[in-house]
């Protein structure tokens, strides 16, 4: 494999743009990053301890998944206190130290915010469920039963079963789009919006530089509680009742946009704060662009285009990039190939024997996309999905839908820091999930000692992206998109970079009409101008 080059000069005119435009962001799943106290669960002091690894990659920011007070029914996405740290992760003082250390290392700090629902142990909900007249009685979505006692509508939960649970205290149903222990916020209520804005301000005052807003299109529902229509059958196997409906009325209410504009106005008061929406579902593409349109809404959005794709193809890349043209009023996209909810990309996209080569080709592609790029912890090591036996699964969705839903736990296994030692340097105790022997062999210390490793290759690619304005923020033009070979140009300020990738396990012909001249910035798997061995990838800097 050909080594990557890493130009050191800064991107021209970088100071003219906000820090997040074209940024590389590293996602940290706290439970599995580093355990500092030996209880087998990662924590905030552990993140602080390992931030040098993240900074050395050359990313611009970290995104830290939920660490808030929670009963952990959905591992932190069921928040019981928005403004405190769960004891298993540490304290607010530990958070402050993490932020300070990140800033010392030149890293911005982005955190998750889960506004669509809370835990049923949140004080807001505990008060709301007491009766129909208390001050927070309408802070959640409550509704009377139908005449026969049935739920108010046919809405289904993402995790299986009706999206309504009966509560005898009020003799009403409450809505939950996910677990029954995650009651739905009534964000139509102005008092609720004020409370959520207060939560965001709390973290802004602690020095946070950005927010990823979870399940944003679930924030508001249809107040008339109309039934969702059935979804036309698309030939794929349906594993949940949720898949049988078009999710029109339980989510995606137009009023969400107004709240987004209030969030943006608050963030603008604090300067260059980055806001990123997570949007999934049937209307994801439309909503992502709606939530980021113009200068008064969120900065960026990302969906599940790559995260659940079972193959990486030129067609997939072209489709995703074409939806975000460089046009006035169009938002700025963010891309992730992996995260804590999706199976590891190498397991989805290639055979085991091709993993090393495919990982390098995939890394060049990610570094070359227009938009922000998000690297999930361990992706820089080439981690694969761990097959966890049912008796060790923690994921509530996988338990509820076993064996038809692939466990998310296989992508949440602990980071392997050391090749030696039973727990890979992650903990001195028993880890909450097993490592997986195949990932233990890809430990960070072993790759650190190998100049030809994927870890060093990823660093060189991020340096390359940062040094070339065409890669960081340039436009995207498709030059060739065949069944296996993709070629495109990134261009900014009169300089261009051509990217050519062979996504197959067979050698391929160089696409006709794509230039062969230019300085080789980086190549992988034997790629040369005019030569594309299996999984070859190359970046060429265009010359006049």
Contact between residue 357 and residue 538 where contact means Cβ atoms under 8 Å apart: no
Q: Which helix (H) or strand (E) holds 268?
A: helix 256-268
Alpha helix ranges (H) inside 138-208: 190-204
Which residues does 461 contact at the CB level (< 8 Å), separation at least 6?
4, 363, 364, 367, 522
Alpha helices in 20-74 (DSSP H): 44-57
Annotation marks residue 338 as catalytic: no
Measured distance CA(316)–CA(312) in Å, rounded: 7
Sign of CA dihedral 177, 180, 182, 183: positive
From the candidates 35, 78, 209, 214, which is the catalytic residue?
214
Q: Report d(CA 405, CA 116) in Å as an integer.
A: 23
What's the half-sphere exposure (Cβ side, CA atoms, 13 Å) at 473?
19
| 98 touches 48 (CB < 8 A) | yes
Which one from 278, 287, 395, 397 is the annotated catalytic residue? 278
Q: In what order do the strands lie in the sheet with 537-541?
A: 475-481, 485-492, 495-502, 537-541, 519-524
Q: Are strands 142-143 and 164-167 parallel, antiparallel or unpaired?
A: unpaired
* Contact call for residues 85 and 91 (beta carbons, < 8 A): yes
The closest of 470, 465, 505 to 485, measured between CA atoms, is 505
Q: What is the 3-state secondary structure (H, E, C) of 290-305?
A: HHHCCCCCCCEEECCC
Active site positions, annotated: 214, 278
């Amino acid at each position: 494999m050909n080594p990557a080059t890493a130009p050191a000069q800064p991107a021209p005119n970088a100071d003219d743009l906000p820090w997040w435009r074209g940024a590389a962001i590293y996602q940290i799943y706290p439970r599995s990053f580093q355990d500092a106290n030996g209880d087998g669960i990662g924590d905030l002091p552990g993140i602080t301890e390992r931030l040098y690894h993240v900074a050395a990659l050359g990313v611009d920011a970290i995104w830290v998944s939920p660490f808030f007070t929670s009963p952990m029914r959905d591992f932190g996405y069921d928040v019981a206190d928005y403004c405190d740290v769960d004891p298993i992760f540490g304290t607010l003082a530990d958070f402050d130290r993490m932020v300070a250390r990140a800033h010392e290392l030149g890293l911005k700090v982005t955190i998750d915010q889960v506004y669509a629902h809370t835990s049923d142990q949140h004080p807001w909900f505990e008060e709301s469920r007491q009766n129909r007249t208390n001050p927070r009685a309408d802070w959640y979505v409550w509704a009377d039963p139908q005449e026969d006692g049935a739920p108010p509508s046919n809405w289904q939960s993402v995790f299986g079963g009706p999206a309504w649970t009966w509560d005898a205290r009020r003799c009403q149903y409450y809505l939950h789009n996910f677990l029954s222990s995650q009651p739905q916020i009534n964000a139509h209520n102005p008092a609720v919006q004020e409370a959520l804005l207060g939560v965001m301000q709390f973290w802004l005052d602690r020095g946070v530089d950005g927010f990823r807003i979870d399940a944003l299109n679930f924030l508001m529902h249809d107040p008339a509680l109309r039934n969702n229509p059935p979804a036309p059958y698309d030939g794929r196997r349906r594993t949940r009742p949720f898949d049988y409906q078009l999710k029109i009325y339980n989510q995606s209410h137009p009023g969400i946009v107004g709240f987004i504009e209030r969030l943006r106005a608050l963030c603008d008061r604090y300067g260059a704060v980055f806001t990123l929406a997570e949007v999934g579902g049937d209307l994801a593409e439309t909503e992502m662009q709606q939530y980021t349109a113009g200068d008064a809404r969120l900065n960026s959005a990302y969906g599940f285009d790559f995260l659940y794709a079972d193959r990486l193809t030129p067609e997939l890349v072209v489709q995703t990039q074409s939806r975000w043209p460089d046009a006035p009023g169009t938002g700025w996209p963010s891309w992730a190939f992996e995260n804590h909810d999706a199976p590891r990309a190498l397991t989805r996209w290639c055979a085991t024997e091709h993993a090393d080569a495919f990982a390098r080709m995939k890394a060049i592609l990610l570094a070359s996309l227009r938009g922000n790029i998000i690297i999930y912890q361990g992706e820089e090591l080439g981690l694969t999905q761990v097959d966890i036996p049912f008796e060790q699964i923690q994921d509530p969705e996988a338990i509820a839908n076993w064996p038809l839903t692939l466990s998310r736990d296989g992508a949440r296994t602990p980071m392997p820091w050391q090749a030696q030692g039973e727990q890979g340097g992650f903990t001195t105790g028993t880890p909450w999930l097993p490592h997986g022997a195949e990932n233990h062999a890809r430990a960070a210390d072993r790759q650190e000692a190998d100049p030809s490793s994927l870890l060093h290759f990823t660093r060189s690619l991020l340096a390359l992206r940062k040094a070339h304005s065409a890669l960081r923020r340039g436009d995207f033009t498709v030059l060739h998109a065949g069944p296996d070979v993709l070629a495109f140009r990134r261009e900014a300020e009169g300089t261009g970079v051509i990217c050519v990738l062979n996504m197959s396990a067979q050698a391929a012909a160089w696409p006709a009409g794509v230039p062969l001249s230019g300085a080789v910035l980086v190549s992988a798997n034997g790629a040369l101008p005019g030569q594309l061995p299996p999984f070859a990838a190359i970046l060429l800097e265009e010359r006049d």
